[in-house]
Amino acid sequence: MQEPEDEAREMTFQPAQLAIHESDAALATCVAERVADLAAQAIAIRGEFRLALAGGETPRRCYEQLRYLPVNWAHVQVFFGDERCLPRGDKQRNDTMAYATLLDHVAIPPANIHTIAAEYGAYDAARNYAMLLNDYAPLDLVLLGLGEDGHTASLFPGNPATELSDAAVAVFDAPKPPPQRVSLGLHTLQRAQHRIFLVTGAGKRAALQAINDGASLPAARVGLSEWHIDRAAMPEFY
Ligand code: 6PG
């Protein structure tokens, strides 16, 4: 039985997990190249690459660069780490940003893009997405952002949805608007072959410090991940 403090020590960032970048632009370039590399590996081995895109603003530059890299998009299935319960096409939706920066600019078959129908409400959308994910699990790569409170996707600290075992979960009372969302469940994130976090800006320092100190925040619970962090976000521990 692992002692709690042992588990906490395991959550300290290992050097192999960390890539520290001088700028958010350098981080975006590096992560875009990592996505292209993992795509080539998965397609060579299994003929398909199952990628979940992160929401929020941090991945924007990465997606804008990814569209110019040699990815065999016909063999890529795109999913979303989470979606906000807003009308389709709303500027604040995560899929709206993904289409504008990447998906409208690459030769991916529309049927390969699996958006979350969050406009129909969190419960129905989560149930439908969980059924879809059961046909594709495990995902090859999940891109993730980090919230200032240590959330990732739409799994927020202390929110009941974070503890659910479903493949996709309905989120209510999210502290980051909008309050209703749909998220990949924690187990789906944990089961993915690879996880890459993109973290930029001084606003994320406190969350990174807390994770390094062993806080059991949602972003610290997804399993071994690559952490791509820019200098501005790096806490004093490095
Ligand atoms: C969302 C995202 C969320 C995001 C973090 C970081 O819907 O808001 O999925 O998890 O990744 O909150 O957001 P920024 O990249 O905008 O800082």
213-232 pLDDT tens trace: 999 999 999 999 999 999 99
For the segment 11-40, what is each residue's pLDDT rounded down to a tens digit?
A: 457 666 899 999 999 999 999 999 999 999
Q: Is a pLDDT exceeding 50 seen at residue 238?
A: yes
CA of 57 to the centre of ligand 1 (A): 7
Shortest-distance atom of ligand 1 to CA 152: 10
Q: What is the mean pLDDT of residues 201-219?
A: 95
Token pair in block for residue 170: 């309905």
Q: How many residues does the chain have?
A: 238
Closest to 38 measured CA to CA, from 195, 203, 216? 195
**Position 7, amino acid:** E
Cβ count near 123 (within 10 Å): 13
Q: What is the pTM of this model?
A: 0.94
Q: Catalogue all structural domains in the chain, each as residue range(s) with its CATH number.
A: 22-142+159-180+187-201 (3.40.50.1360)
Q: From residue 49, how far is each of 45, 138, 178 by CA, in Å? A: 10, 11, 30
Question: With 80 as the cut, is the pLDDT of residue 72 above it?
Answer: yes
Q: How much distance in Å is there from the Cα of 96 to the middle of ligand 1?
A: 14
Instruction: State which amino acid sits at residue 48.
Output: E
For residue 149, give both structure tokens.
Answer: 């409170």
Q: Which residues' Cβ are closer than 6 Å to ligand 1?
A: 54-58, 81-82, 84, 94, 145-147, 151-154, 176
Q: What is the pLDDT of residue 237?
A: 62
Distance CA 53, CA 106 (A): 15
